[in-house]
Chain A
Amino acid sequence: MKKANQALNGIKVVELAYAGVGPQITRELAEHGATVVRIESHRAPDPLRMMSPFKNFESGLNRSAFGACYNTQKYSISIDLNMTKGPAIAKQLVLWADVFLDGMTPGTTTKWGLDHESISAIKPDIIYAGTSQLGRTGPDSAFSGWGYLLMAMSGFTNITGRPERTPLNVVASYTDYIAPWYMVIALLGALDYRNRTGRGMVINQSQLESSLQFLSPALLDYNVNGRVMSRNANRHPYAAPHGVFPCRSSETSTEQWVAIAVFSDEEWQAFCRVIDKPGWIEDPKFAGVLGRKENEEELEELIAKWTEELPAEQIMSMMQNAGVAAGMVQSPEDLFNDPQVKHRNHFRPLEHQVIGRHSYNAPAYKLSKTPCDISKPGPCLGEDNEFVFKEILNMTDDDIEEFLVAGVITTEMDAPTAPSVF
């Protein structure tokens, strides 16, 4: 692989994790230069490998973009930790590593001797990072779910929706897209701390507690004022209009919407000129924010009559040119066509040996001197066995042959697994 000037060159990481959170943590490290070895097994594959979207709609362990997208720049090995010699290989990797990431349900790694006590015993300065939905301690620590469930438990579901209707989820497993970054931040601090002090450490994450940071104003509002935040559609406490309005669509099968947010009287006046309703500027019903909030429903209906005649992109430009905040409600297709997203090089295509050429999301930040860099797509299961066993663990061909024959190194699934669709 290419080795540019990257922040984490030389850092070594072992990952024992699946699904959304753990793999995204180490992906961030790998894309900035760390060497990450991912321990997998054909006998218990990462469920994401069997989730859509698949190449040509056909499932297979190496055919899912979901299985690939969180694993750029990583090395995948396939070993069976339930066989006697499996954990021994993992422990050799621990001796090599700076960071061990345990993303299994609490208690799972103990039977393999890969819990933090056992690992710290063989490698005292290791940085052990454990992540689970509800943390390692506490009465409900055994809870083993998915991010879409944790979204509901973290309170986000209950504040998404219309006041008169049921709560809603976003399509994504929301907390899986908060928790990883908190762990990356802690790990980077820990790596520097270790360089300065020689001390490793144990970092444990409750994904719930990480996610609740994003709810903190509402938590304080309840603790202080006793207010239980509920659903309020797109309404804003002190801005109006503030909402999403229907637009003209060129295709009958797609809907187009534009988001508009007016905060000040000055923006309101500019808005009125854009939609050619100068009379509203002086209209006592709408001139001030009090009037606009009071008559918000009527105002929204009137605005929708204007927006539905025009395409969303045109409305965005007209508003932006007048200094009013507005944006398209972008579909995935829109995101691929967004000139700003292109400018930021967000979708980075790589040639995956099974899936073919497909895109990988870039980090949201650009580092001016040590940019992230990718060249290796998410690996096929066990793709890097030879490299890792020979180059990192110094095994001989005979050693490898022995592990293959014994089935410690896995090469295929015991039984076909049905795909899941999320």
Chain B
Amino acid sequence: MGLSMADQQVQNSLLGGFRVLDLTDEKGFLCGKTLADLGADVIKVEKPGGDQARNIGPFYKDIPNREKSLYWFACNLNKRSITLDMETADGHEIFKTLINTADFVIESFDPGYMDELGLGYSELEKINPRVIMTSITPFGQTGPYKDHKASDMILWSMGGVQYSTGEPDFPPLQMSLPQSYFHGGLHAAMGSMMAHYHRQRTGEGQHVDVSIQQAVMLTLMIAAEVWELYGQALKDMAVILPARGGAFRIIPRISSPLKTRMIWPCKDGYIIWSLAVSGGSAGNIASSRALINMMDRNGMAGRLKDYDWAKMDTLTITQEEADDIESIVGKFFLAVAKAEILKEAVKTKVFIAPVFTVKDICEYPHLEARGFWADVAHPELEDIITYPGAFVTIDEAPWKVYHRPPLIGEHNPDIYGKELGFLKDRMVLLKQANVI
């Protein structure tokens, strides 16, 4: 009772009252989306006619239309939209005016583009010393590859993930839903927030320079550390790591690498379980015992019934013994369904999980019970679309849908009319001149 959605956005959120001018393309969408989810007033600044990325599919009911890109919807929920061509003289001036109202400017143009427009950080800082400018590019603002052309897959490759993903007899693989740009956007949001905290304490803004390649490298877990500590020794033995093992994981050992299966077919799809996480620590041992108990209840434990998992050591186990254990376990997996496996994992802490499809996720009762999903009305489509909800839950500042993803230039009247006080005839002129 009382507070309008706009008031709630300002008062009951971590970034309420802070404004973000979001100039990014798909390389940086997730940055603004993340800040918008925390309540910031994120204004997507689109070229007249709309973001090029509105052409990225999939589309609502497979109708290819700039107002129907589900990719764009997913990345721009909770933002507002204005249209503006900063390359025109008037657009340039309007943007400078908006800088005075902004706490963050995020952009993903080629390095140097904003400087050429006279809108680089050194200029923005003069207009508004508090402003934080975040630049998201494939390789960063400076350096030998700064002007290299990239795509999501190329950054997955240059960042080192592609190398070890895939089947040994086929080329290295990306994910079918490309991920590099999301990593870039998320790290950009983190850098922006780090700068935000400093600005709030000191009044000083700064420039945040994000490399998507590095963001991808930060998903490598310990590939770099393994290379540094083990790489040369293993290379001398003609062992290349991390190997592209397909459904298997090749584990580096000084004796000989160990090949263990990660992805297993089960009754209704696939599950994931690894022998490499079966001995050693107390948790691993408990997990293995619980799995064997489950197998035993189904009369399928075989000779593993009394196996001593405390003595199982992945550094010394022979390939033969590993294969033997895996053959017994693998037979059992073929007889169980994904849901049974998950139930056991929750109940007895077996380190095992189903390989969920998108459908499995959307139908997963746990997510439903937690109220994860958000139904968002799209009046223009006369439909309601279900979106993924909060990335974390915050008791002081619950996540909300403030706006469905905006239509192209939907908020021109709010920003140019109400805020900047442009009269109607001026708006009409600017529209015809393709400035807004």
Contacts and interface: CB of A to CB of B under 8 A. Distances in A.
Interface in A171-187: 171-174, 176-178, 181-186
Given A155-B358, A185-B189, A368-B209, A209 B367 contact: yes
Contact of B176 (A230, A246, A369, A420): A230
Contact of B159 (A166, A330, A422): A330
B355 A172 contact: no
B128 to A, nearest CB: 15
A332 interface: yes
A84 interface: no
Given A189-B15, A419-B315, A333 B362 contact: no
Given A186-B392, A202-B395, A340-B139, A192 B197 contact: yes
B308 to A, nearest CB: 12
A259 interface: yes
B204 A369 contact: yes
A365 B349 CA distance: 37
A81 interface: no
A153 B271 CA distance: 9
A331 B215 CA distance: 16
A369 B262 contact: no
B397 A201 contact: yes
B225 A172 contact: no
B240 to A, nearest CB: 6
Contacts of B366: 134, 138-141
A60 interface: no
Most buried by A among B186, B226, B360: B186
Interface string B53-73: 000011011100000001101
A157 B396 contact: no
A215 to B, nearest CB: 7
Nearest to B274: A148
Interface string A185-207: 11011111101100101111110
B206 interface: yes
B225 A358 contact: yes
Interface string A341-366: 10110110000000100110111111
Contacts of A204: 392-393
B212 A142 contact: no
B369 A138 contact: yes
A408 interface: no
B396 A143 contact: no
Interface residues of B, number: 164
Interface string A218-229: 111111110111
Interface residues of A, number: 160
B47 interface: no
A417 B314 CA distance: 13
A146 interface: yes
A220 B61 CA distance: 11
A223 B386 contact: yes
B1 interface: no
A85 B189 CA distance: 40
B303 interface: no
B223 interface: yes
Given A144-B349, A215-B177, A421 B370 contact: no
Interface in B230-248: 230-231, 233, 235, 238, 240-242, 246-247
A160 B175 contact: yes
Interface stretch (A289-297, A318-326, A381-389): A318-326
A170 B313 contact: no
A39 interface: no
B97 interface: no
A215 B75 CA distance: 10
B30 A213 contact: yes
Contacts of B334: none
Contacts of B365: 139
Interface stretch (B83-91, B277-285, B325-333, B419-427): B277-285
Nearest to B273: A149
Contacts of A174: 219
A418 B388 contact: no
A78 interface: no
Most buried by B among A137, A221, A232, A239: A221
Given A140-B342, A213-B30, A182 B358 contact: no
B10 interface: no
Interface in B119-165: 121, 134, 139-140, 142-146, 148-151, 153-165
Interface string B93-137: 000000000000000000000000000010000000000001000
Interface stretch (A50-58, A87-95, A272-280, A396-404): A50-58
B227 A336 contact: yes
Contacts of B305: none
A162 B167 contact: yes
A67 B225 CA distance: 11
Given A243-B171, A327-B148, A8 B370 contact: no
Nearest to A214: B182
A192 B280 contact: no
Contact of A358 (B15, B121, B228): B228
Contacts of A145: 345, 351-353
Given A155-B357, A209-B389, A365-B190, A160 B173 contact: yes
B173 A234 contact: yes
A343 B162 contact: no
Interface in A48-75: 50, 52-55, 57, 59, 65-66, 69
A355 B225 CA distance: 11
A323 B193 contact: no
Contact of A328 (B158, B197, B225, B258): B158
B433 interface: no
Given A145-B353, A186-B38, A332-B160, A233 B173 contact: yes
B429 interface: no
Interface in B269-319: 270-272, 274, 276-277, 279-281, 283-284, 310, 312-315
23 contacts: A140-B342, A155-B360, A162-B173, A171-B242, A172-B219, A189-B14, A190-B14, A190-B394, A206-B370, A221-B58, A225-B58, A237-B57, A244-B172, A326-B154, A332-B224, A339-B143, A358-B228, A363-B187, A364-B211, A365-B210, A366-B191, A420-B280, A422-B276
Given A253-B238, A344-B140, 17 more contacts: A53-B228, A53-B229, A150-B353, A169-B262, A170-B161, A182-B34, A188-B190, A220-B387, A227-B58, A257-B172, A263-B151, A320-B149, A340-B139, A364-B215, A417-B280, A418-B313, A420-B276
Q: Give the 3 A-B residue pairs with the shortest CB-CB distance, closest first.
A: A365-B191, A189-B14, A332-B227
